[in-house]
Amino acid sequence: MASTPIEVCAKTSVTLPNRLGDCPFTQRVLLTLEEKHLPYDLKLVDLSNKPDWFFSISPEGKVPVAKLDDKWIADSDVITQTVEQKYPDPSLVTPPEKASVGSKIFSTFIGFLKSKDPNDGTEQALLNELSAFNDYIKDNGPFINGKDVSAADLSLGPKLYHLEIALGHYKKWSVPDSLPHLKTYMKTVFSLDSFVKTTPLTEDIIEGWRPKVEG
């Protein structure tokens, strides 16, 4: 067990003071720490006005960064893998053959969100990815690795949460009822204690995606 809390730098909310902001990659790291019952200490950073101390630990000025073994580590992939190696119990390892399940959903979501042309195929591309995931979960669920939550769910869950809120707000679009297993999966993941505890504000997610939509 980690006795001293793991320091994690995260984006601060743009709508409420001293609240966690809307980064899905940071939430993935926090979910990993929550699921492993590891204490952590959040350092909230205003990404529109980054303090000098932040650049000394994150030269690219990006979140999340976490301090493990007295070293600051960037990138949610690297952070979560390092945490898994250092604190293997309970295991969150996703078997390699399942690790990429749902991995194209986020990029197709962004493509559709940014799209200005309803006939450019971006909606269909997203629906194809969501349908494939729906079929996979139907036969393999309730989680990506069967009955237990694993790293793949903690990566995908925050992205699906952003998808639901951003597409609902900007496109008046929601996951179709023809994908019931995906909808159940989203409900299950979003209601995990760890998820509820680390969920960003809806308003922050909407504001966070605004530049992509209006840009």
CA atoms within 13 A on the CB side of 184: 13
The active-site residue, picked from 6, 8, 9, 23, is 23
Structure-block tokens of residue 13 = 């909310």
CA atoms within 13 A on the CB side of 181: 15
The helix or strand, by DSSP H or E, that contains position 166, with its residue range, turns out to be helix 151-171
Q: Is 23 a catalytic residue?
A: yes
DSSP string, 166-204: HHHHHH-----TT-HHHHHHHHHHHTSHHHHHHPPPHHH
The residues annotated as belonging to the active site are 23
